[in-house]
A = this chain, B = another copy of it.
């Protein structure tokens, strides 16, 4: 259990240079009535079931559990009827922090975002040159929004 404190930025892909060691992610959601997210994620050779509360600025509660990959595949097929988010995640260390760079595919092709996890909402961090406009709290960039309004339709 914990609080997830995360800031999200758009990326200038042409300044990124070569990306290495990406992990493919496929994730779906069980449709909820409120802003709670119930996410099932296949990531490389692992799988996770995650509950996330509503965003409060850069902060949201998060509960994540590793589950068998075969379970995740069955849950995605049986219980997540909607479209899925497909992306490749790359990690890059800058100063004291690790940035997660998500390169979206499928109906969100062309979108590249970078996220940094912090210990407090106003923790300082080094901003690399390939990081552009901040989109923390911009609901259009939530993965759950990208399911229903994918980037290619903007």
Contact = CB atoms under 8 A, between A and B. Distances in A.
A1 B79 contact: no
A92 to B, nearest CB: 31
Interface in A112-132: none
Interface stretch (A9-17, A27-35, A144-152): A27-35
A71 B78 CA distance: 26
A33 B150 CA distance: 20
Size bin of chain A's contact surface: 20 to 34
A75 interface: yes
A26 interface: no
Given A1-B71, A65-B65, A53 B79 contact: yes
B49 A65 contact: yes
7 contacts: A1-B68, A1-B70, A1-B74, A30-B32, A32-B38, A49-B51, A61-B78
Interface of A: 1, 30-34, 36, 38, 49, 51, 53, 61, 63, 65, 67-68, 70-71, 74-75, 78-79, 81
